[in-house]
Amino acid sequence: MKKILKHSFEAVSLLTTDNGMLDVTIVPALNQPDWIIPSSLILSVDDYDEHIWTYLWQQQEVAVFHMLPRDQVPDKIVVIEGNTALHRFALQTTGELRQIKVRISEVKDGQLPEHFVDVAASNIDDNKAKDDNSIYQQNNVSTIDNRTDNKIDVIEEPFRENDVLSYLFQTVIIENTPYLVPDLDKIAHQLVDSDS
């Protein structure tokens, strides 16, 4: 039996299905499509209008991911469940969250709209210039090659808040509107690693 190295979010298994329906929450974002997150992962939605890096939630400090530029005033903190209590994190955003139930058959795979790809691409050079001074560094991740059962090191590219492509898990289309499905596991682990 192989040792499991780390649990990862499996978005499909976390979505609650009830007669072919998905229970999801749409979290507003700026300069990118709104995020779609399984409602069961949202622990709390609190009013908060100050740009912060950590948030005290139920006696626990959680790292904050910003879904809006620094020059925008946030009004919400959304606490997201993690693999462990340590890997909980918060999203800082502005606008109203919407909880919806949607039929699985109504959720289509899609492509990230071109203007969001262009914005992300224009930020790549800025990110490379900041890498030396950044708290987000590349992580070496050990994993098992299933074909040979050998341990290999993989360099995991860090996410950047201003680079949608660095944390995009998938783009989906619901009623002709694109939504971003984020790689919550990657965000949680890198926020915790950079915060500690």
Query: Would strands 60-66 and 89-93 be described as parallel, antiparallel, or unpaired?
Result: parallel
Domain boundaries, the chain: 11-195
Lowest mean pLDDT among 23-27, 82-86, 99-103, 148-152: 148-152
Q: Which of 15-24, 58-67, 140-149, 157-166 has the lowest mean pLDDT?
A: 140-149
Burial of 173 (0-12, 13-18, 19+ CB in 10 A): middle
Q: Are 179 and 170 in contact (CB under 8 A)?
A: no
Nearest to 25 by CA among 186, 187, 191, 174: 174
Reported confidence tier of residue 1, pLDDT bands at 50, 70, 90: very low
Confidence at residue 63, expressed as pLDDT on a 0 to 100 scale: 94
Model pTM score: 0.74
Give 35's strand partners: 27, 180
